[in-house]
Amino acid sequence: MASELSRPLLLPQNRKLRHLQGIYLRNLTLSRPRGKTIDDAALNKSPQKLEALREPQLHHAQSSGDLRPPKLRRRSTNWSGVSPDLRQKKLEDVIDSRTADTFFTLHTKGEEDPIYISEVVERAMNPTFRFFDLSGFGPATTRLDTFTIRLWVKRQDFVPLIEEEVNLGSLQFIGTLENHPFPPNCILFHLIDGIYTIDLASKPPKPKHAPSLPTSSYSALMRLSNLDESIQDALATREELAAQINEILYSNPVDESLQAEEEMALASRYVASERKLLKNSIRRRAELKASICARREAIQSGKELQSKYLEDINNAQDKLLNCKTLLQTTTSEIHGQRRRICEELSAIYPIEPTSHTLAFTICGLPLPNSTFEDADEDIVSAALGYVARLVDMLQYYLSVPLPYPISPYGSRSLIQDFISVLQDNQRTFPLYMKGVIRFRFDYGVFLLNKNIERLAESQGLKVMDIRQTLPNLKYVLYVCSAGSSELPARKAGGIRGLITGREVEIGSRRGSADSGIVGAQSEAVRKALEIGGVEPKGKIDGNGNGKGKGMENVASLPFMDANVQTLRTRGLRENIKR
């Protein structure tokens, strides 16, 4: 098997240009080799000539003067004292002198332009070019066995280095690129059965002698001969029968009715199929028309709706601006009212410092910072009642829900914890010390401090120590009442009318259920006062008696016989008995 692989598959006379697949170049040398003339390419490089050139040649005998051993040349390859930069430059110069950019072109007789131009292989001493396929050319080119190859190298510019006329029949087969010493500028040709070259000769190995195998016997050969004669007779009979059948077919007329019927049936099937397709197409066209009409109507309705929305948006722009302005005004007023309320709360529940550090009093009562060992129980309970009342009011005025609800009952205030995980089912904790477990009191004070911390966080404040009850609360009040603008005035409200010591409801909140009834009653009062000569803006003394004239006629008003009257103030309703 190894001997078959090392043999060419193509005969020399059968090698054509269409069998060429690739070209290699080995040992690129830019200078002309010594001992070789410029016209060496024109020599006859037949196998016999190359074999003769490789035979040992005779040399002249040396004289007695030449018998002395030649002197060894001094070598300049001592790199011990050379710097690394010089050594690197020397190596780069050697590499540059042996490498170059190369490409090749293939030419045929009678063609001015090359039939193939390879790619450029940069800086290579053994360039390997890509494989190519010349079978796309016409037979006039692919059946040639002779062509010209030109090898181009680049020094300053591309110049031809080698121009060789190659006859594929005279190439020498080497099989592979391994284990072959190549001469300078050796060109290798890759055909479909292996690699060939011009400069190297290769002798195909002789086949090995194998032992002879036993052949068939005489009787077996005779049986094979008889079988062959039987096969020949069968073939002759088949040919005779075929000739007779053809003669019968030619002599009888051809009946084309069956074929016509088959063609008609086929045409009928085609017509039915086309009619079915036409029916489906008509139905599909109707569906598409209906869909298009529905889409047009939808588009039209969408445009109308869009135009309506755009009109509404344009009309709502002014309203939006007014609403934004009103929102800003309301927000500013709310902030101002909160400042005023916090200022008033600071005046109602004054928190003042004492001589001790971080010790404050509320309404004159001292309250320690979560340390109640030596404190008076009644004073602490009363102070915590003030704090609880103040914190409970602040959650409504600042709109900050407290996590722990407070029941401000003065010195018996309570606080509840519904969110913590506790083992005790009793979740109401006292804010007074007398008669309660100390732990529950301390936990209630802790919950109160957490509520104060929640109020501080709602205003963007950070509490350093939640145990400082009054300092943290005063800090919250100070920040909530701070501002550069003037405090707004309190809105007018209170009792609309006080007549003969009885409170009369004259106004009602707009939108309430009894607003109509109250309006009618106020109108009746106004008319009665006008008839009786009573001034609507008459002064009323502290006992509720009017100072204006005609007050004696108010006893006849329809609501004077009621024992219970309603006292209505703005935002506050309560029943008051006489």
pLDDT tens-digit series, residues 319-375: 889 999 999 999 988 888 999 999 999 999 999 999 888 889 999 999 998 888 888
Question: Which range among 232-241, 265-274, 510-519 shows the weakest confidence by mean pLDDT?
Answer: 510-519
Residue 78: pLDDT band with limits 50, 70, 90 = low
129-133, 292-296, 377-381, 527-531: range with lowest mean pLDDT: 527-531
Sequence-distant (≥ 6) Cβ neighbours of residue 174 within 8 angstroms: 180, 188, 194, 195, 196, 197, 200, 202
Q: Cβ(507)–Cβ(518) under 8 Å? A: yes
Report the pLDDT value the prediction gives residue 114, as an integer from 0 to 100.
93
Q: How far is the C-alpha of 200 from the C-alpha of 50, rounded, in Å?
A: 8
Query: Which of 6-10, 149-153, 512-516 is modeled with the greatest confidence?
Result: 149-153
Q: What was the pLDDT predicted at 422?
A: 86
Contact between 328 and 320 (Cβ < 8 Å): no
Domain 1-30+85-201 has CATH 4.10.830: no
194-197 β-sheet, strand order: 20-26, 186-191, 194-197, 172-175
Q: What is the pLDDT of residues 194-235, one digit of tens each?
A: 999 987 655 555 555 667 777 888 899 999 999 999 999 999
**Which listed CATH number (2.60.40.2470, 1.10.3720.10, 1.10.418.40, 1.20.120.80) goes with 336-481?**
1.10.418.40
Task: Give the whole-number percent of the chain exceeding pLDDT 90.
Answer: 48
> What's the confidence (pLDDT) of residue 251?
87
pTM over 0.75: no
pLDDT of the residue at 454 = 95
Sorted by where each begins, the domain ranges of the chain are 1-30+85-201, 336-481
Percent of the chain predicted with pLDDT > 70 = 73
Average of per-residue pLDDT values in the chain: 79
**Stretch among 37-51, 198-212, 296-310, 433-447 having the lowest mean pLDDT:** 37-51
Mean pLDDT along residues 525-538? 51
* Per-residue pLDDT at 544: 40
Quick: pLDDT tens for 459-518. 999 999 999 999 999 999 999 988 877 777 776 655 444 444 444 443 444 444 444 444
Q: Does the pLDDT of residue 185 top 70, yes or no?
A: yes
Separation of alpha carbons 243 and 237, rounded Å: 10
Residue 62 has pLDDT above 80, yes or no: no
- Residue 573 confidence class, pLDDT cut points 50, 70, 90: very low
144 or 42: which carries more pLDDT confidence? 144
pLDDT, mean of residues 177-206: 81
Top pLDDT among 380 and 70 is at 380
Distances (CA, A) of 447 to 393, 414, 454, 461: 16, 10, 11, 18
Amino acid letter for position 169 = G
| Predicted local distance difference test score (pLDDT) of residue 484 | 79
Q: What is the mean pLDDT of residues 264-271?
A: 95
Q: How far apart, in whole angstroms, are the C-alpha atoms of residue 171 and residue 148? A: 14
